[in-house]
């Protein structure tokens, strides 16, 4: 008897035709394109920062403290005489690293747990979901502060803390997707043909649950940047002399009334970065939604 390969709808996200369809839907939204452009600019600044013709972000010049923006220093200098523009570029690298890595850690922890909870149910579902619900009862910043206090103030501590804090969101999201997918005909057909649980999860359920995970990833990416900025503002995030948007805002506090541009530039970059990532996530949600693609 010839074996029949059961393929769920929209499961092959790697096919060229499906990728073109997603891109066509994505580029129809000007806001999504703007979000993608913001992300590309931030990524280029983070990667190409060391080779850009900028001043040394760590070099202190007491003769140029709180210098106003000029042609020599486009964004001026901070209270220690360091170039603000070069420090913003380096801080962008830290922000993207922490945002991407923490969201990635959360997805790697939460997605498998959500798959197990939704597919097997019973004891696994109860145990995993009660743990996730317990973590969700704590405010994100408070739980991150507790973990950072235990692990110490460092970039790696921030990554681990945010990864654990964001993981329950992926658990709930993936579990909900699995519960709706495992009752579909293509999953029943795969099981009837003798597919193992691992094969069903890897080839038939997980690909169809990736779309909401990607959208959640962009949301956590943006939120992690805001949370890291908040911790750095309090002195618990990226440690000096490494620059961070939060620490730059903290250093600018005494000068808000007279030299407001010290807080304006890092604050404006933070707002644009978070807005762009949120718009990128909204665009991905619309482009990856199978119902919208079928209706189109």
Mean pLDDT of all residues belonging to the chain:
83
CB atoms within 10 A of CB 27: 13
Confidence of residue 2 (pLDDT cuts 50, 70, 90): very low
pLDDT at 47 over 80: yes
Residues 72-116: tens digit of each pLDDT: 888 888 888 899 999 999 999 989 999 999 999 999 999 999 989
Query: What predicted TM-score, i.e. pTM, was given to this entire model?
Result: 0.82
Note whether 111 and 174 are within 8 A (CB). yes
77 SS3 class: strand
Residues 173-192: tens digit of each pLDDT: 999 888 888 877 777 787 78
Separation CA 64–CA 68 (nearest Å): 9
Confidence of residue 257 (pLDDT cuts 50, 70, 90): confident
Please tell me the predicted confidence (pLDDT) of residue 127.
92
Instruction: Please choose, from the candidates 242, 89, 220, the residue with its C-alpha nearest in 3D space to the C-alpha of residue 159.
Output: 220
* Alpha helix stretches (DSSP H) within the chain: 16-27, 30-48, 84-120, 122-136, 140-151, 155-181, 185-192, 197-199, 206-233, 245-252, 261-288, 290-295
Please tell me the predicted confidence (pLDDT) of residue 221.
92
Please tell me the predicted confidence (pLDDT) of residue 33.
93
183 SS3 class: coil
User: Domains (ranges, CATH) in the chain?
Assistant: 74-268 (1.10.3720.10)
Residues 195-229: tens digit of each pLDDT: 777 778 777 788 778 888 888 898 899 999 998 89
Residues 65-74: tens digit of each pLDDT: 888 888 888 8
Separation CA 67–CA 78 (nearest Å): 7
Per-residue b or e along 84-102, where b marks 16 or more CB atoms closer than 10 Å to that residue's CB: bbbbbbbbbbbbbbbbbbb
Instruction: Please choose, from the candidates 193, 190, 214, 192, the residue with its C-alpha nearest in 3D space to the C-alpha of residue 202.
Output: 190
Identify the residue with better confidence: 158 or 87: 87
Separation CA 248–CA 229 (nearest Å): 9
């Amino acid at each position: 008897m010839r074996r029949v390969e059961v393929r769920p709808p929209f499961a092959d996200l790697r096919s060229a035709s499906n990728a073109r369809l997603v891109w066509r839907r994505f580029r129809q939204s000007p806001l999504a394109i703007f979000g993608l452009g913001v992300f590309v600019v931030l990524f280029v600044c983070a990667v190409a920062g060391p080779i850009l013709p900028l001043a040394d972000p760590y070099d202190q010049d007491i003769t140029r403290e709180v210098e106003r923006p000029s042609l020599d220093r486009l964004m001026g200098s901070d209270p220690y005489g360091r170039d603000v523009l070069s420090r913003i570029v380096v801080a962008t690298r830290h922000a993207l690293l922490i945002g991407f890595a923490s969201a990635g850690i959360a997805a790697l922890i939460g997605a498998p747990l959500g798959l197990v909870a939704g597919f097997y149910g019973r004891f696994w579902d109860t145990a995993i979901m009660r743990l996730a619900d317990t973590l969700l009862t704590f405010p994100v910043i408070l739980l991150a502060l507790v973990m950072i206090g235990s692990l110490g103030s460092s970039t790696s501590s921030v990554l681990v803390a945010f990864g654990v804090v964001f993981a329950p969101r992926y658990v709930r999201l993936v579990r909900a997707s699995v519960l709706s997918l495992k009752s579909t005909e293509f999953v029943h057909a795969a099981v009837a043909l003798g597919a193992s649980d691992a094969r069903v999860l890897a080839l038939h359920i997980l690909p169809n649950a990736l779309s909401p995970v990607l959208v959640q990833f962009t949301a956590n990416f943006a939120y992690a940047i805001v949370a890291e900025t908040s911790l750095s503002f309090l002195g618990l995030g990226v440690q000096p002399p490494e620059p961070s948007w939060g620490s730059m805002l903290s250093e600018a506090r005494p000068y808000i009334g007279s030299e407001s541009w010290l807080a304006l530039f890092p604050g404006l970059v933070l707002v644009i970065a978070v807005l762009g990532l949120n718009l990128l996530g909204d665009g991905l949600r619309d482009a990856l939604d199978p119902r919208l693609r079928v209706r189109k």
